[in-house]
Structure 1
Amino acid sequence: MAALCALAAWRPWAPTGAAVSAGADAASVVAPAALALPEDPRVLIFGDSWTYGSAASDPTLGYAYVLGHALGWDTVVDGVRGSGYLKPGWDGGSFGERIAALDPALAPDLVILQGSINDRRLPADGYRDAVSAGWDALAARFPAAVIVILGPAPQVLPVEAATARIDADLSALAAARGWWYISPIAEEWVTPANYPSVIDTGEIGRDHPSTAGHAYLAERVANALTAMTTPADVVADAPADSTSDGVLEPVGR
């Protein structure tokens, strides 16, 4: 809780410059600009069941809601359980179908697009095309928005090969566009040591983040975003800054 209170002091305004997002071949990388947002940003957090808040004691305790509240954003959360770039969700369509249904009047300053492990059991053929089409549509719908891609976090360990492939595909595609990419897999957000406290493996949780796990993910996303505000030559999957007791702290203001 103390860490979440500390996050409220963080604001990613004003920095300028560029950095290189890690995770893709240097020849295909377009350096993303340092993240800069207006004083009171509107933020769309779009994704799957993890964004929905599944397995939290209340969906509004999911990472997306916790993140937006802690940072004082005007946040719109759009999470659909079971949804992916190829896979339709339980309560809505695939990412592409859902992006097409977004209201242009929403006009977010920042879009965080999360996921998804839900495509891992579908053939890899056509995956990159579906991702590219979805991202093209998202950029066209919200041309003024900064888009940050939040890749899949592992729901089981060791990381499944298909999930690792999805992470690699998203990383390469984001780098080619000059978009920031956050890789929970490369940054080892979920480890054997913290897995029991982050992931609820019970009948209700079904390998989704617990309430505490969602709070932890919110901290990790906030710290990743903070790092994007600092101009650097290379941002290379470095772990977020932390205190000696393991509590993440904002990287500046």
Structure 2
Amino acid sequence: MNRTRRFDVAAIVVALVISVGIAGVSSRGSAAPSAVSSLAAIQGGAVEPRPLVMFIGDSYTEGKSTREMSYGCRAAVQLGWLCAVSAMGGTGYISGGVANRWVDPYGRKSLSFSERISHLAAQYDPAVVVLDGGRNDEFPPREDVYDAMLSTISETRRTWPRAKIVFTRPRFLAKPTGDLGFDDEFMARLKSQPAAKGVVFIDPISALSDTDTSGLISADGIHPNAAGEDRMTADLLAALTPTMYRVGSS
């Protein structure tokens, strides 16, 4: 390659880096995969972009510090996946929706899980969607929550038909055996519905059923502390690993 040609290639690479940097500031979620693909084209190689896992949930899903360091995203990163989180404390399949809408101190209007999906669809095309909630849905009748869960699963599948859907059984870390009214019969009935065909049901907190979790709970007695999030990351990773490796293989 002559000197002029090397200069031309270098200029293209520099321009690409600048454009990717601008895209990273102005657009969320898509810059990294497109940058990988473009660099691969210049170099003559083929690099597959990393798939995205989307977590939709409550304050547990949101994490103790930043969403990027939530237990869901930490597990996803260990699997080599990109991660996005849509979470708000106090919300659920019903909670935060039309039944009991509220506005938080930052002026954000609460939204149930299903209400977020259309907004998320405009930004993301996930390969896996993890529904992680139900902890705040103890107040409505169980049958109403059942219908809302089933409706949310259906809406998720309609919106992202190619995505693998993962449903996390609702539990609190402080009482890993507590079912919050979503007992084995409830879960079996949900799994048996045609709308839930192909959905992966996981129960990571139950892995701590024989463990004293008092040292994993923050001062509020509800949410995990740093050690609790470490343990939940490990248990979620173990639950998600088989699902992640199956994505795209069928």
Q: Normalising by structure 1, what TM-score?
A: 0.64
Q: By how many angstroms is 1:43 displaced? A: 1.0
Structure 1: how far apart are the matches of 2:171 and 2:118?
A: 25
Greater helix content = 2
- Tell me, yes or no, if structure 1 residue 140 matches structure 2 residue 158: yes
Question: Secondary structure in 2 aligned to 1:46?
Answer: strand
Structure 2: how far apart are the matches of 1:68 and 1:164?
A: 29
Which whole-Å deviations, capped at 9, do the CAs of 1:97-142 have from their partners, x for residues lacking one? 1223322451111111111210012222311211121111111111
- Tell me, yes or no, if structure 1 residue 174 matches structure 2 residue 191: yes
Given candidates 51, 63, 70, the residue that maps to 2:71 is 63
- Tell me, yes or no, if structure 1 residue 190 matches structure 2 residue 218: no
**Taking CA–CA contacts closer than 8 Å with sequence separation of 6 or more, which of the two structures ends up with the larger relative contact order?**
1
Q: 8 Å contact 1:152–1:184 — kept in the other structure?
A: no
**Corresponding residue for 1:19?**
none
Q: 8 Å contact 2:216–2:228 — kept in the other structure?
A: yes
Given candidates 44, 52, 63, the residue that maps to 1:42 is 52
Given candidates 216, 219, 223, the residue that maps to 1:208 is 223
Aligned pairs for 1:101-180 within 5 A:
101-157=119-175, 159-160=177-178, 163-165=180-182, 168-176=185-193, 177-178=196-197, 179-180=199-200
- Tell me, yes or no, if structure 1 residue 226 matches structure 2 residue 241: yes
Structure 2: how far apart are the matches of 1:158 and 1:138?
A: 27
Structure 2: how far apart are the matches of 1:229 and 1:46?
A: 17
Structure 1: how far apart are the matches of 2:49 and 2:189?
A: 31
**Corresponding residue for 1:31?**
none
Distance 1:166 1:50, change over 3 A: farther
Structure 1: how far apart are the matches of 2:129 and 2:185?
A: 20
Question: Secondary structure in 1 aligned to 2:142?
Answer: coil
* Percent identity for Structure 1 against Structure 2: 27
- Tell me, yes or no, if structure 1 residue 85 matches structure 2 residue 93: yes
**Corresponding residue for 2:32?**
none
**Corresponding residue for 1:52?**
62
Q: By how many angstroms is 1:68 displaced? A: 2.4
Structure 2: how far apart are the matches of 1:153 and 1:77?
A: 19
Q: By how many angstroms is 1:174 displaced? A: 3.3
Q: By how many angstroms is 1:169 displaced? A: 3.0
Q: By how many angstroms is 1:156 displaced? A: 3.4
What 5-or-longer segments of structure 2 have no aligned partner?
Answer: 1-47, 97-101
Structure 1: how far apart are the matches of 2:125 and 2:187?
A: 24
Q: 8 Å contact 2:177–2:209 — kept in the other structure?
A: no
Question: Secondary structure in 2 aligned to 1:218?
Answer: helix
Q: By how many angstroms is 1:198 displaced? A: 2.4
Q: 8 Å contact 1:175–1:181 — kept in the other structure?
A: no
Q: Normalising by structure 2, what TM-score?
A: 0.64
Structure 2: how far apart are the matches of 1:144 and 1:104?
A: 16
Aligned length: 186
Question: Secondary structure in 1 aligned to 2:208?
Answer: coil
Structure 2: how far apart are the matches of 1:170 and 1:108?
A: 25
